[in-house]
Structure formats: structure tokens, C-alpha cells
Structure 1
Amino acid sequence: MLHATVHDAFCASARRTPGAEFLFTESVTAAAYGIAPGAIHWGEAAARVERLRAAFAKAGYGHGHRVGLLLENRPDFLFHWFALNALGVSVVPINAEMRSAELSYLIGHSEIGLAVTLPHRAADLRAAAEAAGRPFETMAPDAVDAVPPSKTPPPRVAEPIGLATECALLYTSGTTGRPKGCMLGNEYFLRAGQWYAELGDLCPVRPDTERIITPLPLNHVNAMAFSTMVVLVAGGCLVQLDRFHPKSWLQSARESRATIAHYLGVMPAMLLSAPASASDREHAIRWGFGAGVDRKNHAPFEARFGFPLVEAWAMTETGAAACVMANHEPRHVGTSCFGRREDFVEIRLVDDEGHDVADGTPGELLVRASGADPKRYFFSGYLKDEDATREAWADGWFHTGDMVRRDAEGNFYFVDRKKNVIRRSGENISAVEVESVLNQHPAVKTSAVAATPDAVRGDEVLACIVMREDADASEPEQLAASIVAHALAQLAYYKAPGYVAFVDALPLTASQKIQRGQLREMAHALPGQSHCIDTRAMKKRQS
């Protein structure tokens, strides 16, 4: 690799093209954030990063520290990330939708002692840190002259900062228990940018030219490790939206002169739901990078908007180390095909006994890097969970939990998720995490959460509730609303139940564990029944 850190890659492009546009904030995002629209040039960004780097260094932050970032998708997120990375400090992105229970866990588990945060969330973070028993400080993103001094010396001060240095700690929902912290090194991020820059064929990346628009959150791997890193590695301009606005997305693409667009499956569905217009093709986008487009929407979208949606597969744990992408013909549009294996990755599809399955038969996707080091460019492990890391890497292969089939020509097709994870609008939601909060409601005896199909969002959260014997069930709608309000107070809005079904009992195994297969069948059938309350209207972003 040409660079040893993310900061090095940023500085190299800034030196090469100081007068070019690095970030472009279009009007909708500018209005949402109350910041100025328009471009920030590479040279200006480099100066901001250097001021922050010096301030953090003066305050005693260094190699091995972790600092939280609750900055949404604002330019400040990138400036603070690069400045801290220069010092060997790992950043812990904090989803702005998180509430008390989630924040307490994240702060306690990651052991961050500082968070750079939007001022209106500082009190929430400090309260969560107090609940977690952690010494903790917050600072506003523009407080360059008031960085709270570090309470501890850098844990790895004697070690050189380089490719293996932890760059970020990203939390991902697991199949059981709490979210896991994925430790991601500099080489993980740099490889993602390099891989993207070298895609070629149907997905060429022109050096110092592309303008990449994404509405995806910077606390997720797609925006943080792919769209951001390819701009750092190949140059060009990043158009980071605050979120996806279906009514104004195309106008934002035009205003920003975007040439590559990032998407998730829910986005094409929303854009297609609007009336067709003669201006639908009035943009400069050449291709889209994403995953999960609904089969029935794939071809109609491309015909209407005039650019291909190129499907890919990756996970937070794999990054680009095992990414598979349909950037070569044939793409098999409308089939959930995400491409063929490249030489840098090895792939197996196995049954429940670990035996390889025949072509055409779905199996769990196992991946590893080709060559001597099967873990090269993958995540470094789950923080404080060596058992889970070993389990994920059983028998020398990373077990993805995704069900995939392969055809005779070597094309891979996504089938379903083996994991008990609900995926709503691109967000992974752990059923167990939601259940642990629901079970704290005074009327709830026990609960079980599963995915139910949603035409727009892919999955919606459905909660089966067994009430306590002394609970008042005379007004089920009010009780359901109370349960959802309880969840909204402690969890990000998208994790709260969109349906609450009151049931007499949960499906259980002989050992009294939830029978997840039967629960999934119930969740598909329950919406529309009298004892299943639709609470989706309560699920709104909280300011």
C-alpha cells in the first residue's frame, strides 16, 4: 500500500489537488444541518484537519486512545476522524438515533473517555456515561481551543502508528446479545478505497474526477469505508447527504453534479413510487453502487433513470477483503445476483453440517482472503469477545450467516439471512436487543421480536407480547402505544416495533428457548389480524 494511515491518504490527495472540491454540501443537507451549502476544497479541509490534529495532540490524545463521534453526516465527522487518525486515535462513530440504553452500553464497552458531539446531545452522552460508570468528557465539533485534556496517557505511545493501528470501532448487531464492536485497522480502510478505485469494467473510477453522492450514514461501513475512502485514494469529491430524501434526491444529484451514486434496496423502490418525469434522466450519474434492490424494481429503475444499479456483497467484518460485485457482464439484472468471485477471495457455500453444497443449492456463505493470510484486510476481531471472533472464523473461514446460491457459471445470488437479524431500510437490528428493552415494560411478561415483510423498507419489526397476568388489556391500542413509546425512549426509532401482537404464548423449544423459525412464520402472518396492532406511525426520527 502507498499509505500507512487514512490521514496519509487524505493528505496525499490534498497536496495533489488543493484547489479541487473535496466535499460538496447540497442545499437540502445544508438546510437540515444549518450549515453553508457549496464546496469545501481539499486545501481548506487539510488546514482544518491540521488545526484539529494539533489541538488533540496538545490535549494528550495519542496511539491507542478511542474517541466517540456523534456528528451525524456532517463535514465535521470527517475532519475529526482524519485528525485523530493522524495521532493513532481510533474513532467510535455514534449513531445519532441512539438513546440511553444503547449509549450506556457503547460508552462502557468501548471505554471512550471523550466524545465530539453535537451540543444538544452532550447531556445525553454524559448521563449515559455516568450510568456506565465511566469518566467522560464531551466537546463541540468547533471547540478547537477547548479540547478536554486526556485523563490517561496513550496506551500504545511506544509503538509506531501504521497499517495495523486501529482506525475505527464500528458496532454491528449480532445474532444474540449486545452489538459487537468490530475493530478495524488502517489497512482495512485503505484496502476498501484501493479496491473501489480499481473496480473497472462496468464501474470505472476516474482519478480526481468522480463526484460520489451517498445518503448512507457515516457510522456504517458503506459510507465510512467505501464512498469516503475511494475519494481519499482516487481523489474527486464526496457528496455526503444528511439522509435519503426521496422527493429531493434527484435534484440533489443534479445540484452536486454527482457521477456515482450509493444506494440500498429501499431507495430505488421509493424513487420508483413517484410519478415518472421527463427529467428523470437529467443527471450525470454513470452507475450506482449498492445492494438489495428488489428484483421487480431492478430493470424498471435502470430503464427509467438511465444508469445501472450494480449489486455488491460485503459485511462490516469483511470490508473489501471479500467483497463480491457484479461489475462485469452478465449482471443478471432482477435476480439478486451480486457477481462472481475475484482472485483475492476464496468462497465456500456450506450446509448446516459444514459440507459444500452443489450449484443451485443455497448454502451459508464462507469467505477468506486468498494467499498465506486468510484474514488479510478483514476486521481485527470483536472487542472484548475472543470467543465470538473464534466462532466467526471457525475452521479458518469467516462465517457470514448469509444464505447464497451459486449457478454453474459461478454467479452468486443472495437468498436470505441465516442470522436472526432484522434488516429495516439498511439498518441491522438485533432481535435480542429489542426484546431486552421490551421485557422491562411493566405490562410485559415476555416478548419475542422478528421481521415481517414491508414493501418499502424490506423488513419491519414485529413484537409478539405475552402480557403479565395483572396487566390491563381492555385497551390494546393504548397498551401497544405504551410499549412502543417505552422502546422509543431507549432505542433508536427504527428498532422499535412497527407491529405489536398480543399472544397467549411464544413458540418455544424443548429447552424453553424461542423457536425462531416458527416465530418468523408467525410474524409473516400476524399483520392484519385483530390482535396485531399497527404502530408504524409512531416510528419517527427524534430531534
Structure 2
Amino acid sequence: MNVAASWCGTIVSCGTTMLTPRDVAHRLSKCGADCIICTPELAASLDEITKSLPLRIVVSDSQEDIRGGWICYNELLESCHGRPAQPCVATRGDDISQLFFTSGTTGKPKMVPHTQASFTTGHIGTIRYWLDLGEDDMIWNISDTGWAKAAWSSLYTPLMAGATSFIHQMPRFDAKETLRALCEYPVTVLCAPPTVYRSLVQCELSRFPLKALRHCVSAGEPLNPEVMHAWTNNTGLQIYEGFGQTETTLLCGVLKGMKLKFGSMGKSAPGYNLKVLNEQQQELPPYHEGKLAISLKQGHPCGLFKGYLYDEQRTSEAFRDGYYFTGDRAYYDDDGYFWFVGRADDVIISSGYRIGPFEVESCLLEHPAVAESAVVSSPDELRGEVVKAFVVLAENFKHHQVEALIADLQNYVKTATAPYKYPRKIEFVDSLPKTVSGKIRRIELRAKEWAGQSEPSGGSSSGSGSISSSSSSRHGG
């Protein structure tokens, strides 16, 4: 559908199937879509909020799944047989082709437009130097199709490289099934978030000879050095990390032929000039922590978006003084390798999903038991970090049974917004730390959670996606 959309000059905005009707309604109201394509299950839940759309399409083999007011995708295909092919639209390089939504900390998801050029020409470096893709390769990109990372490595890069994209429609991730598939099919390049690698190394890898696999990359969140060691010791393959955002293509990575430095994001990718700046926008020397930014003084990189759609304020905050600010903090060493320190905002990246605290906090505040809430990241061995909510209870709920109340709040968030956003940890407190102006000091709560531990290092993507191979993805948006 993405290829057909580009052919016709249609803008595509992908969303994870875990989005709730409220999430979808927000997106539709912001982007102005006039068509929705989904499964029968989603059509049932989205029927009411999509009635004003001119075109609603259901992908199903059975006519029984088609609700009133919806069109069967397979019937549309059948109706085209024998008709002349639609001529390709002569689009411009700066025409929007993809529209992604990426989470933030102080508001609703932002709209990130990518053009016909930014996700094609802008990914040449990704293909050649990070994914190392050629015509004989088969790549398996394990990523939710709602994120920019899926567009990166499941569609555009293999298509341009002439490679084959491998798709496995597992209902949910299964480590042993993943290893079985890697043994059975000639997958040569694996692109996956660290959560996947963490799960794979817990299996008995000696039982799964990965004969075809030759190159592995990591995306979506930080990767632990111990997981890298375990994977290499058992497979003989190394994992090459990178860094990018929903707003960009590959910004930084351990590229083809480069020496690995465990914990490093690697060097600037071709086409990007990464800098570390202080508060006065002055470039810092090696080993000095500062704001990670892209210099625009030599021109605007092809893979970098031009600004958030219909949001001049956030665009002006990101683009200023001749730089694009990623929202992350980092430093670099004498060899030019970059090292991730932390996110300047409070976005949480859990199992590759990018979660804005504001969205979860807003959802919690709709529950009658919650007077105030603050959401931060909390360390987790498997997921890297998870959502934790600090909750000040409303007066008439302060004596309720704690475990039952926690379960109730978690279930409420799961049903009110996308399930991956729910707080896996909840702590009830009497008050929240605040600034003089009344703003919640999430940094203080986060420091408490990570006391004695290192916050995730390696990258952040947009989505899909900043990429730790999280968009600010972290990739995928």
C-alpha cells in the first residue's frame, strides 16, 4: 500500500494496531485524512469515530467481516482487473509521502512529515553503511508497522537496495519462533530492538544454527554490553548499533568496517554533521557533555525533516541558530565516537516504544482516584526501562486496598489509550516535587528511580520511532 500510495501521490500515516479509538480520533482530527484502511476487528472499534471519512476500507478475505459503510479491500483489487494502470504521479522531492506521529512530554503527539526525497535519497547511507544491504540479501526488521523504523528497514531500504524483506506475522513476539525462522529461512540481515536480543540470548542458542545470518543491527533503545557479548559468543556475530529519530534517517552509527566500542552510538552517518553544544550554542571539545545537535551550516541534510506539521512553536524550538536540536544529551571521544547520556526531555522508551509522560499522566487524571500524577522511566532488566507513575490519590480513595487500586488504574490506562503506555509500576505518594512555578520536577523522580544504576545509554528514536542503532525513535516514531 505504501508503494501504491507513492505512485498515486497519496500521503500515508501508519499507526500501531494498539491505538485506541481516542488515539485514532486525535490523529484523524490533526492530519485531515480522508481514508482509513484497517482490519475487521479495528473497523468494529473505530466505526463510530470514522463515519465522517469519505472512504473506509477493511482488509479481509470474508465478506461477512465487512460492516455497513465499509469497503472490502479484496473486492477493490478484483474490480481493477482488466482496467488500464494508473499513471505514476509526477511528485516533487519535497512532496510529503509519509506522516508519522511522535510522542512528546508536554503535549499531544507531534506530526512528523517525511518527503519523497527524505525517505529515499536520505536513506542511501543507511543502506550502504549501516544495514549493508545488497541485492542478494534478505532483511528481517522486527518492528511495529506503526513506527518510522518499519518504513526504514521493512520498505524503503530493502526496496532501494533490491533486497528481499522478510515478514513473519507472529501474533506476538516469540523468541524461540524467531530463532526457528532464522534457521529455516535465508535471512542474512537482522534489525531488531535490544528487547528482542535480550530475549534471544536467554534461549539455548546452540540449538539454533543461524547459517545464513551475517549482519545484525540494533534499533529502538539502548543495548546492554552483556547482551552484545552473549550474542557474539554464541553466534559469532556482532551487533552494530545506530541512532536516529522519527524526524531523521540514520544520524549516527557503528558503520561498516568500524571498530565496535561497547556502549557507543558510533560516528556521524554520511550526510550529517553532529555536534555537542553547551547552553550558549558553542561547540564543545571531546568528553564534555552537552546538547546533541545537527549542524545546518553546510546545508539541510536530505534525510532531516523540515518541521512539525502545523506546529510552528515546536518547529522553532527544534530549529534555531543554525542547528537542529535532537533533544538528547551526549558527548564524543577523541576518535569521534558519540556516547549517549540522556534525553533532554522525559520521553520513555520501553521495548522500542516511545511514550510521552504527558499522555499517560493525562489519562490517569481522568480516573476519579487520581488527584495528581507524574510519570517517569524506571529500570527494567528485559525492557530497558518501563513506565512508572507516581500518584497522589483523591481524598476518598486514600484508604482503598492498594493492590486492587493499582490493578484498576493499570487497566484503565490500557483501555483508555494504547496498551503499551500503561504504567507497569505505580507508587502512591502524598505529594509531588515541584518547581517554584508549580511544574512537576520529573527529573527528581527519575533520579530516585535510577539511583545506583545507569540510565539507558545508546540512543533514542521517534518511534519508530529514536533509534539506538529511539525519535526522538527513536525511530519509529
Cα distance between partner residues in 1 of 2:267 and 2:447 = 32
Instruction: Return closer, same or farther for 1:368/1:310 CA change in 2, 3 Å cut-off.
Output: same
Name which of structure 1's ranges 348-357 and 183-192 shifts more when overlaid on structure 2.
348-357
Amino acid at match of 2:116: N
Identity among equivalent positions (%) equals 25
Amino acid at match of 2:216: G
1:175 and 2:96 correspond: no
Equivalent residue of 2:120, what SS?
Answer: helix
Structure with larger RCO (C-alpha < 8 A, sep 6+): 2
Match of 1:467 in 2: 393
Match of 2:457 in 1: none
Instruction: Return closer, same or farther for 1:209/1:193 CA change in 2, 3 Å cut-off.
Output: farther
Match of 1:288 in 2: 216
Match of 2:203 in 1: 274
Q: Which runs of 5+ in 2 are unaligned?
A: 60-71, 78-88, 453-477
Q: Is the 8 A contact 1:112 1:136 kept in 2?
A: no
Q: CA deviation digits over 1:490-531, x for unaligned, max 9?
A: 1111100101111100111111110121121233479xxxxx
Amino acid at match of 1:478: A
Q: Is the 8 A contact 1:286 1:307 kept in 2?
A: yes
1:500 and 2:429 correspond: no
Match of 1:88 in 2: 9
1:445 and 2:371 correspond: yes
Mapping of residues 231-246 of structure 1, within 5 Å: 231-242=158-169, 244-246=173-175
Q: Normalising to structure 2: TM-score of the pair?
A: 0.84
Q: Is the 8 A contact 1:192 1:229 kept in 2?
A: no
Match of 1:318 in 2: 248
Instruction: Return closer, same or farther for 1:83/1:219 CA change in 2, 3 Å cut-off.
Output: same
In structure 1, which of residues 511, 516, 528 is the aligned counterpart of residue 442 of structure 2? 516
1:127 and 2:48 correspond: yes
Q: Is the 8 A contact 2:240 2:253 kept in 1?
A: no
Equivalent residue of 1:251, what SS?
Answer: helix
Cα distance between partner residues in 1 of 2:389 and 2:445 = 10
Deviation at 1:160, TM superposition (A): 4.5
Cα distance between partner residues in 2 of 1:129 and 1:269 = 39
Deviation at 1:266, TM superposition (A): 1.4
Amino acid at match of 2:245: M
Instruction: Return closer, same or farther for 1:352/1:193 CA change in 2, 3 Å cut-off.
Output: closer
Q: Is the 8 A contact 2:276 2:290 kept in 1?
A: yes
Equivalent residue of 1:217, what SS?
Answer: coil
Instruction: Return closer, same or farther for 1:465/1:381 CA change in 2, 3 Å cut-off.
Output: same
Cα distance between partner residues in 1 of 2:154 and 2:260 = 22
Deviation at 1:257, TM superposition (A): 0.9
Match of 1:367 in 2: 294
Q: CA deviation digits over 1:188-218, x for unaligned, max 9?
A: 1112442233228xx6433x21000122122
Equivalent residue of 1:183, what SS?
Answer: strand
Instruction: Return closer, same or farther for 1:472/1:516 CA change in 2, 3 Å cut-off.
Output: closer
Q: Is the 8 A contact 2:292 2:326 kept in 1?
A: yes
Instruction: Return closer, same or farther for 1:339/1:183 CA change in 2, 3 Å cut-off.
Output: same
Q: Is the 8 A contact 1:216 1:244 kept in 2?
A: no
Q: Is the 8 A contact 1:216 1:241 kept in 2?
A: no
Instruction: Return closer, same or farther for 1:199/1:258 CA change in 2, 3 Å cut-off.
Output: same
Instruction: Return closer, same or farther for 1:473/1:247 CA change in 2, 3 Å cut-off.
Output: farther
1:213 and 2:140 correspond: yes
Cα distance between partner residues in 2 of 1:519 and 1:352 = 24
Could you say what the CA RMSD is over the residues aligned between the two structures, in angstroms? 2.2
Match of 1:67 in 2: none
Q: Is the 8 A contact 1:221 1:319 kept in 2?
A: no
Match of 2:177 in 1: 248
Instruction: Return closer, same or farther for 1:523/1:276 CA change in 2, 3 Å cut-off.
Output: same
Amino acid at match of 1:287: H
Deviation at 1:236, TM superposition (A): 2.2
Cα distance between partner residues in 1 of 2:5 and 2:347 = 32
In structure 1, which of residues 324, 328, 339 is the aligned counterpart of residue 257 of structure 2? 328
Cα distance between partner residues in 2 of 1:174 and 1:518 = 19
Cα distance between partner residues in 1 of 2:344 and 2:415 = 30
Q: Is the 8 A contact 2:17 2:146 kept in 1?
A: no
Q: Is the 8 A contact 2:182 2:210 kept in 1?
A: no
Instruction: Return closer, same or farther for 1:414/1:185 CA change in 2, 3 Å cut-off.
Output: same
Q: CA deviation digits over 1:201-254, x for unaligned, max 9?
A: xx6433x21000122122212221234212211112101233532121111112
Q: CA deviation digits over 1:292-322, x for unaligned, max 9?
A: 22122212211212212111111111114x3
Q: CA deviation digits over 1:9-36, x for unaligned, max 9?
A: xxxxxxxxxxxxxxxxxxxxxxxxxxxx
Amino acid at match of 2:218: G
Q: Is the 8 A contact 1:210 1:260 kept in 2?
A: yes
Match of 2:92 in 1: 162
Equivalent residue of 1:92, what SS?
Answer: coil
In structure 2, which of residues 316, 323, 339 is the aligned counterpart of residue 413 of structure 1? 339
Instruction: Return closer, same or farther for 1:226/1:397 CA change in 2, 3 Å cut-off.
Output: farther
Deviation at 1:284, TM superposition (A): 1.0
1:225 and 2:146 correspond: no
Mapping of residues 16-95 of structure 1, within 5 Å: 80-95=1-16
Amino acid at match of 2:354: N
Match of 1:428 in 2: 354
1:110 and 2:38 correspond: no
Q: Is the 8 A contact 2:347 2:354 kept in 1?
A: yes
Cα distance between partner residues in 2 of 1:181 and 1:365 = 21
1:188 and 2:114 correspond: no
> Aligned residue pairs: how many?
425
Cα distance between partner residues in 1 of 2:381 and 2:280 = 34
Cα distance between partner residues in 1 of 2:99 and 2:183 = 34
Amino acid at match of 2:420: Y
Name which of structure 1's ranges 451-460 and 191-200 shifts more when overlaid on structure 2.
191-200
Equivalent residue of 2:129, what SS?
Answer: coil
Mapping of residues 532-543 of structure 1, within 5 Å: none
Deviation at 1:263, TM superposition (A): 1.4
Q: CA deviation digits over 1:53-86, x for unaligned, max 9?
A: xxxxxxxxxxxxxxxxxxxxxxxxxxx2211221
Runs of 4+ in 1 over 6 A off after TM superposition: none
Q: CA deviation digits over 1:150-199, x for unaligned, max 9?
A: xxxxxxxxx94232221110111123211111011111111244223322
1:394 and 2:323 correspond: no
